[in-house]
Amino acid sequence: MKKIWLMISCMVLVCAMAQSKVNVITKSIVVYPEKEAGKIARIVFNADSKCGLLFIIRDSKGNIVKTLSSILNEAGQSFIDWDGKDFSGRIVEEGDYSVSVVTGISWALDEKFGIKGRIGIETMQIKVTDPEKIVFKVPGEIKRITVGETEYYKSDNLSIAGPNYVIKDGNIQINPTGGAKKDDIVNVEYYNPFYLENPWAIDVDQAGNLYVLYKWKTASMKYPATTLVKVSPDGKKIVDDFGSDGKIGPFSGHANQVTVNEKEGRIYICATSSHGTGVFSLKTGAFLYEIGGWFGSGSSDPRTTVYPAGIAIDKTGTKIYIRGFSAYDRTKEKDKGFLYRENPIKHSGYAPLIDNYWGPSMESARQPDCFYASSYYSDISKIKDTGSGFSELYNVHINGSPVGMSLDADTEVLFAALRTVSGEIAVLHDTGFLLNELWRLKDNELGPTHAVKMIGEYLYVVEDGASPIGRTLEEMKKANVNPAGKNRISKYRLIFDQEKDVCKITVKK
Amino acid sequence: MKIASFIAVIAFFSGISYGFEIEVNLKNPSDIPITCNISLVRTFTDEHGNWWPDLGFISEGTLLKQKPRVENFIQPGKQSGWIKIPSSARILVCKRISENPVKWKLDVKITEGGNTISRSFEFSEKTMTEYIYLYTVPSSPGPIRPELLTAEEIVDRNLEIVKQTIKNRQKTPEKIAIYTDCFLSASNPSQYREKQYKFLRTLGINGLQYCDPELIPEIMEKGFLYFRYGGGTIEYQDYYKIQQEIEPAIKSASLNLSGVFERYNAINYVRNLKLGDEISSGLLQEYIAGGEKTRIEVIEYLKTKKIQLSEAEKIELKPASIIRNENPCLYYWINRVRMERINSLWDCAKKANKKYFPYAWSSPNWPVIAYLEGGYGGYGWDLWHLYDNQYLDGIWGEDWPGYEVWLRGGDAYLVDMMRCQAKGLPVGIYNVVEANHSSVYARYKFFQQLINGITEIFWYSYGCLRGNESKPWEIKTDIVREIALLNRDAGEAEEYLLNTELEPASIAILWTPAQEIWEPEYHIEIIALYYMLLHSNYNVDFISSYDVESNRLKKYRVLFMPFSYVENSAWEKIKNWVEEGGFLVIEGGFLRDECNREIDLGSWLKGFSTKRIERVKSVGRLPIELPKQKLLDSTEPVYFPVICSKYNLTVPEKGKCLLRYKDQSPAAVQVSKGKGAVRITGFYQGLSYIWDQENRDNSKWGDILLYHSFSPEMRIFTTEPAGICKIKKVCDIDKNLVVARKRTGKNRQCIAIFDYGFGSDKPVMPVWETIGETTVKLEIKQAKNVKCLNGEIHKDKDSYVVKFKGATMLLIDF
């Protein structure tokens, strides 16, 4: 083989943010939650710059009982109050509680995962030295080969060999009659380590297996189809002992969000077909039944879940909330579990501005009757199920169009994928009465992100891969939203800049 | 039922036309207008265009051939007046279209042969659809008369029949699965479903096939224990594919089905999964048309099996007829590969299902066509490839509804054959008792199945429970009654059946792939020969060349080779077995190997030679066409007809001539060989046995099913080797055509006795009213307790005297 320039895109492994310095002045305090006097513990602190702070209160066993957050717009002294109640609003037991403060967050790619921390599309470029012999190897399934404007190969073609190239013994030879000249650059996009086109949504089980929805389309297809693939925890292979060779689907509907419930042994996939939410076996991938869908008189029928863009399940009960919004008993199929529907709700009436109405856009809150929804207006809202309808509790505007979200239920920290040109993840804290955007995670190598999943100390970030078309594309351009990501999933390890035991609180009744 | 009236019933129902007129009058007694429609429907159509009734099981999904509707808008307090309905179906579907929940009424009038019956129906405001059956009760005394009944009334009537039948007999099977099909749907009114469940459970059914998945929870709640479904299955078109080609679809089907049951937490209720329906080897010509793919497969097979063809036998694919003549060895091996390739397909399906249904066993429906048609041509027999139980969990038999055969023991043959193929694996079977069959038939079949260790039994709902396709409006009360009793027999017997084993056979009948490939027609001799062994009360196993080559021959003392083709490798082992003391019976007078080369019997049996006199190619189907074959000759001193094939023999050195043709040339010879002996007949004994009784009886009973007068002399001659080898009969029953099957366990024994003579020396109709009582004496030593199902038993000194009609079963505790 002649000399070939091989340029694999570099990846920034660690992106850190400048951290603020915080000095907590309150070192010890007693709180009497049940009494009129002394029912609030006020923690006073100084910060040397504007910052977002997350306070974590732990009991004597180290369990997190409550988190608090504060955003300082300028350096100086401030405080935060705790009323002695835990996440569920109950007064905690008497005893000593420690307070830690998180001043910032950074992340690093987990290089053990996939190919140096990522799976999906990679690119390589080859400089043409001899147009008669453009021969090279590609380590994964090819998506596209182009030289300048000329497309030599496209996976949509579904053919093994075309007029412009030949694959033999793993080598690809570009046909010299294709017009490539010396010093041209051959651009190769390929899937690594396995086919993963346009990843869309993700969930991860406790063992670390990834459940990824990806969308694909061939030249003969009018609309894309969606498939769910189960990926091994190391991101190196498809778990073929699941579904049909590791996959379930394809779904002809615009499947948008996947939620795994290990307690129930179920996978919920939003919009599998006929606007319904498919329920599948977590163990085998078998289809079990569908919730909602298209009924009676169609979209005007209250039971219909039309183009649902997201789902959230109530983790202690049997409800499922489907974007629109509708509440269903998720143990019952089709319309049998229909409870009520309310639409639209201020700020949350529409799915985010991404690929028409479709995107992973809901996430269960820690409270069983609440969920988060990202919205058309670049907001994230917290919605409460009132038992007969839905009510928006509060919302926050997020620059960058939030799409998929993932909640770390231990801390009530919410991660939201953003459609910014250089991929960013918003990190918010749900205080119980508002959503504080504390920090942003940034990686210059990321494009627009589409979904996230926080599990343990890891954050999976999904960059989709296909541009929308028509009105949606125009609207996105107007809103300065990048239409497509880089077609990858990355796994990051999160690093919280945390100062422990900055304060002790004694609870007495 | 008297014979005369039975015939009259057949005559009445033999016409397909519907000689009646039907009129309806819709009434609206409410104070709001309603719209309703009436239509006559058929419900279920088979591939022959016959329709089945789904009596009492009707669901929207099964309504076929719906006639044009009569739709009416009726003002409050008004009626439509009499409307004539095209009368070519038997179920009236009465629908209220308007949503308002109002009561409405319908008068129905049928005029048939000048007689009119009518009835008024009132429909509740709760139901939108009602079904009315134009129903006939053929077993009522007096002239046949139509009735008008609702679906629920039919179920009620059946339930009452069953309740009256099973008084004091509550125990139904729990470990033996008794299935039927379930056509209920979730759209049926719940009270109606309740009635159906109650009826089926009272009948003794504990398993259902292909129910509406939505009904799974309530079916389990009603006490049904088992489900049978089609999991990942192989279809006919799959046969020519390779495993990798069919795998995704099979996995997907199994996965999808598992989801249905996982949803209801009912995976472990699925007891059996169907892998395919009557699928066996494809046609040779089409297999050869596979070209290079086929050629490579054959080469790989030969390489794996370490089989070397000669230089002349190049693996070159040509049309089958050319290969057959030019390269017979290759012809044989291509066929072997063709026959065996399905194993990998079954294996693939089995494994896919096992993954998702770990508690279920998978089985194809055994291709009964083989049994009917007698072999080759892409059908059947090939499930001998169950050998070593490598590829299947078990098999499921499609019962042969050939009524004219069962009187000979056809059912015994079927289940014995399945038992031998499955070798300890589970076996299931469909039972068809058509409406024009006697309920006696059900008992013979059922007891044969139970005593042979079949643990999954399916009562086809058509015929058995709901009339049959040509006479679907009948209510077969006698069959329903019989099934209710039989299911209870199974309930009482199941601990005896499941804790015992069939006594091992010392006689074997050989099957060979070579015969199937070279001369499949003569396979029917297996069945015919089996009848003689059955009627002589000997246990018999069916074995194959595979068994012989795996050295499983040594446990037998007598081996029948009921035809002429055998693989050389198997033949070498058979010769050794004879030298070691086995008694071999070769029928037909000659042997040829897998490459269609003559096997020189004279070099093994000095002085023996054979000469073909006449041999027909088309033997014909056993029960129907065989008796039409012309007589070639007969034998002496015992009169045995010789048909289909006649070979002259020479008597080997130190051998003897047992039978001669009329011209006095030897027809059967016997000679000692080593420690054993060889008997060779120049004709086929079984075929003669079948032909003979027809010829001699000439009873003019014609088509009315009377084939039970066989020649005892012929049986004695044919089974003489068993006597020479001192093989014991199953029970020492000294009655013509009365045979027993025995299962023995640690402290239990179970004996089923069948009278294939129906308690009479003369032909009788096989209905309970006309068959005679049979009395047999049995020696049962040291029994603590003996119970007799369907008969009476009392102790008489050292033995027991059993009185029964048709078939009985003894349950014995030691």
Where do the domains of chain A lie, and which CATH numbers do they carry? 15-108+500-507 (2.60.40.4070), 118-192 (no CATH), 197-486 (2.120.10.30)
- Verify whether the Cβ–Cβ distance A284 to B259 is below 8 Å: yes
List pLDDT tens digits, range A206-236: 999 999 999 988 777 878 899 999 999 999 9
Asked if the peptide bond before residue A360 counts as cis, ω within 30 degrees of 0, the response is no
Mean pLDDT of B395-412: 73
**Residue spans of alpha helices (H) in B407-521:** 410-422, 439-451, 461-464, 477-498, 513-518
Q: Which residues of B touch A287 (CB under 8 A)?
A: 256, 259
Least confident of B186-190, B237-241, B296-300, B372-376: B372-376
Mean pLDDT of B526-534: 90
Other C-beta atoms closer than 10 Å to the C-beta of A440 total 18
Q: Which residues of B touch A245 (CB under 8 A)?
A: 248, 251
Query: How far is A259 from chain B, CA to nearest CA, in Å?
Result: 17
d(Cα B684, Cα B629) in Å, to the nearest integer?
Answer: 13
- Verify whether the Cβ–Cβ distance B255 to A280 is below 8 Å: no
- Verify whether the Cβ–Cβ distance A243 to B255 is below 8 Å: yes
Beta strands in A232-305 (DSSP E): 247-251, 258-261, 266-273, 276-281, 287-291
- A283 touching B, CB under 8 A? yes
List pLDDT tens digits, range A29-54: 999 999 988 899 999 999 988 899 99
Residue B90 in this model has a pLDDT that exceeds 70: no
Residue B800 in this model has a pLDDT that exceeds 80: yes
List pLDDT tens digits, range A475-485: 667 777 777 88
- A284 touching B, CB under 8 A? yes
List pLDDT tens digits, range B671-730: 999 999 999 999 999 988 877 654 444 443 333 344 455 778 888 999 999 999 999 999
The residue type found at B566 is: V
Nearest CA in chain B to A247: B252
Mean pLDDT of A321-338: 93
Beta strands in A110-208 (DSSP E): 118-127, 134-137, 141-147, 150-154, 165-168, 171-174, 185-192, 199-204
- A264 touching B, CB under 8 A? no
Long-range contacts of B664-667 (CB under 8 A, 24+ apart): B667/B633, B667/B635, B667/B640, B667/B642
List pLDDT tens digits, range B550-607: 999 999 999 999 999 999 999 999 999 999 999 999 999 999 999 999 999 999 999 9
CA A106 and chain centroid, separation: 17
- State residue A248's pLDDT score: 93
- State residue A462's pLDDT score: 96
Least confident of A269-283, A303-317, B285-299, B300-314: B300-314
Residues 6+ apart with CB under 8 A from B292: none
Closest C-alpha to B58, from B160, B149, B179, B168: B149
Task: Give B782's Cβ-side CA count (13 Å radius).
Answer: 3
Percent of chain A with pLDDT over 70: 87
- State residue B602's pLDDT score: 96
The interface pTM score, or ipTM, of the predicted complex is 0.80
**Higher per-residue confidence, A1 vs B328:** B328
> A250: phi > 0 → left, psi -120 to 50 → alpha, else beta; which?
beta
- State residue A291's pLDDT score: 96
pLDDT band at residue B652 under the 50/70/90 scheme: very high
d(Cα B679, Cα A267) in Å, to the nearest integer?
Answer: 69
CA A30 and chain centroid, separation: 40
Residue A155 in this model has a pLDDT that exceeds 50: yes
- State residue B135's pLDDT score: 60
pLDDT band at residue B528 under the 50/70/90 scheme: confident
d(Cα B387, Cα B545) in Å, to the nearest integer?
Answer: 10
Given the DSSP bridges, would you call strands B226-234 and B207-209 parallel, antiparallel or unpaired?
parallel
- A157 touching B, CB under 8 A? no
Task: Write out A282-293 in H/E/C secondary structure.
Answer: CCCCCEEEEECC
H-run or E-run covering B545: helix B545-549
pLDDT band at residue A273 under the 50/70/90 scheme: confident
Q: Which two tokens stand for residue B209?
A: 């096939």
Pick B256's closest partner by Cβ from A245, A283, A287. A287
- Verify whether the Cβ–Cβ distance B262 to A243 is below 8 Å: no
Cα dist. B444→A355, B92, B411, B503, B734 in Å? Answer: 69, 37, 8, 20, 20
List pLDDT tens digits, range B436-494: 677 888 899 999 999 999 999 999 875 556 544 344 445 577 888 999 999 999 999 99
pLDDT band at residue A359 under the 50/70/90 scheme: low
List pLDDT tens digits, range B196-248: 899 999 999 999 998 889 999 999 999 999 999 998 999 888 989 999 999 99
d(Cα B711, Cα B142) in Å, to the nearest integer?
Answer: 40
- State residue A179's pLDDT score: 73
H-run or E-run covering A76: strand A76-82
- State residue B174's pLDDT score: 96
d(Cα A321, Cα A371) in Å, to the nearest integer?
Answer: 8
Which residue has 């209720």 as its token pair?
B269
DSSP string, A333-396: -BTTTEEEE----TTTSS--SSSTT-S--EEE-SSTTEEEEE-TTSEEEEEEE-SSSEEEEEEE
Q: Which residues of A touch B256 (CB under 8 A)?
A: 286-287
Mean pLDDT of B38-63: 46
Query: How far is A318 from chain B, CA to nearest CA, in Å?
Result: 15
Given the DSSP bridges, would you call strands A362-364 and B610-615 parallel, antiparallel or unpaired?
unpaired
Cα dist. A480→A358, A419, A476 in Å? Answer: 18, 9, 6
Residue A8 in this model has a pLDDT that exceeds 70: no
Query: How far is A234 from chain B, CA to nearest CA, in Å?
Result: 25
Q: Which residues of B touch A249 (CB under 8 A)?
A: none
H-run or E-run covering B741: strand B738-745
Residue A10 in this model has a pLDDT that exceeds 80: no
Closest C-alpha to A17, from A439, A492, A459: A439
d(Cα A131, Cα A161) in Å, to the nearest integer?
Answer: 19
List pLDDT tens digits, range A442-466: 998 998 899 999 999 999 999 998 7
- B251 touching A, CB under 8 A? yes
Q: Which residues of A touch B355 (CB under 8 A)?
A: 284
Cα dist. B643→A68, B371, B588, B657 in Å? Answer: 100, 21, 11, 20
Percent of chain A with pLDDT over 90: 59
Q: Which residues of B touch A285 (CB under 8 A)?
A: 255
Query: How far is B252 from chain A, CA to nearest CA, in Å?
Result: 6
Provide the chain A residues 317-356 that lie in CB contact (below 8 A) with chain B. none
Cα dist. B598→B283, B567, B603 in Å? Answer: 26, 11, 12
List pLDDT tens digits, range B408-423: 787 888 889 889 888 8
Least confident of A234-248, A298-312, B168-182, B637-651: A298-312
Task: Determine contact, residues A201/A218, Cβ cutoff 8 Å.
Answer: no
- A243 touching B, CB under 8 A? yes
Provide the chain B residues 347-376 that lie in CB contact (below 8 A) with chain A. 355-356
> A91: phi > 0 → left, psi -120 to 50 → alpha, else beta; which?
beta
Nearest CA in chain B to A332: B263
Given the DSSP bridges, would you call strands B51-52 and B44-45 parallel, antiparallel or unpaired?
antiparallel
Mean pLDDT comparison of A65-69, B310-314, B323-327, B697-701, highest-scoring range: A65-69
Mean pLDDT of chain B: 83
> B662: phi > 0 → left, psi -120 to 50 → alpha, else beta; which?
alpha
Closest C-alpha to B433, from B407, B402, B396: B402
- State residue A471's pLDDT score: 62
Query: How far is A313 from chain B, CA to nearest CA, in Å?
Result: 18
Pick B256's closest partner by Cβ from A279, A283, A286. A286
Which residue has 């021969």 as its token pair?
A135
Task: Determine contact, residues A494/A14, Cβ cutoff 8 Å.
Answer: no
- State residue B13's pLDDT score: 31
- Verify whether the Cβ–Cβ distance B259 to A288 is below 8 Å: yes
- State residue A227's pLDDT score: 95
- State residue B59's pLDDT score: 39
